[in-house]
Structure 1
Amino acid sequence: MGCVFEVGEETVWHPASRVGETYLALAGGLAGLVGVPTGITATAADFHRVDIVQFDVFTKRVFAEYFRSGHELRRTMVDAVLRPSIVMLVRGGGRIEPATEEQRLYLVEAGQLASAMPAQRS
């Protein structure tokens, strides 16, 4: 069993159920903090549609929030949602343009998480 996140007909992430539930809970909390919806809607208990336009706005707001803070613990908490969000955004056709070298390096590191984020349904 797993959790499926789809952009259109493409699966952008298929984590284990508890991993997906954890991501959704954390992303929902951050959405309230950054003031925009995630763009993720449950269509069944384990299937979620990702509105790529809304998700793009959400991910970019979280990205800005991450770099706005210099607080190490706060960054660690935001990071838990941001890295998987970046991978899903890129898989869904989106992109974040870095404004600094620190941001560019972060995006490269986030992209390396993709190998740990299955997108194939078993």
Structure 2
Amino acid sequence: MSYPFQTAETPVWDPALRVGQVYLGQVRSVAEVMEVASGLTPLRNGSCDLDPATFATFVDHLVKFYNAGRHPTLSHLLRGVLLVSLVLLKRAGGPPPPAGNEVLDALLAEAVALERTMPV
């Protein structure tokens, strides 16, 4: 059983059920802490809608939150959510965060590698 994520037009990720549920739970928690909407809406049919514009805003805030972090444990907790979110943002056609920051450039490269393991 899987937990598909899709925009109105496009499937963006079809992870295993528990993987999708864990990611969605992490996003909900991070969005609540950052006080920003995530752009992800779980549906009764066992899938999740992704609103590209709202999700792009969420990812932008997440990148800033991650870069501003001064606590190593928080950085590790956010890293996985951020990497998956960067892949979903790309697949949803959202604008990538601006490159140029050494840390962000490394994350974007890692997201490219991660994307190969994320089925659509």
Shorter-chain TM range is: over 0.9
Higher strand share: 1
Residue in 2 that maps onto 1:2:
2
Residue in 1 that maps onto 2:18:
18
Q: How does 1:1-122 map to 2 (within 5 A)?
A: 1-94=1-94, 95-119=96-120
Aligned residues: 119
Structure 1 unmatched runs, 5+? none
Cα distance in 2 between the residues matched to 1:2 and 1:81: 19
- Identity among equivalent positions (%) equals 30
Q: Secondary structure, in 3 states, of the residue corresponding to 2:43? A: strand
30-39 or 40-49, which moves further after superposition?
40-49
Q: TM-score if structure 1 supplies the norm length?
A: 0.91
Q: Secondary structure, in 3 states, of the residue corresponding to 2:116? A: helix
Structure 2 unmatched runs, 5+? none
Cα distance in 2 between the residues matched to 1:26 and 1:45: 20
- The Cα RMSD (Å) is 1.2
Cα distance in 2 between the residues matched to 1:58 and 1:88: 12
Cα distance in 2 between the residues matched to 1:36 and 1:99: 25
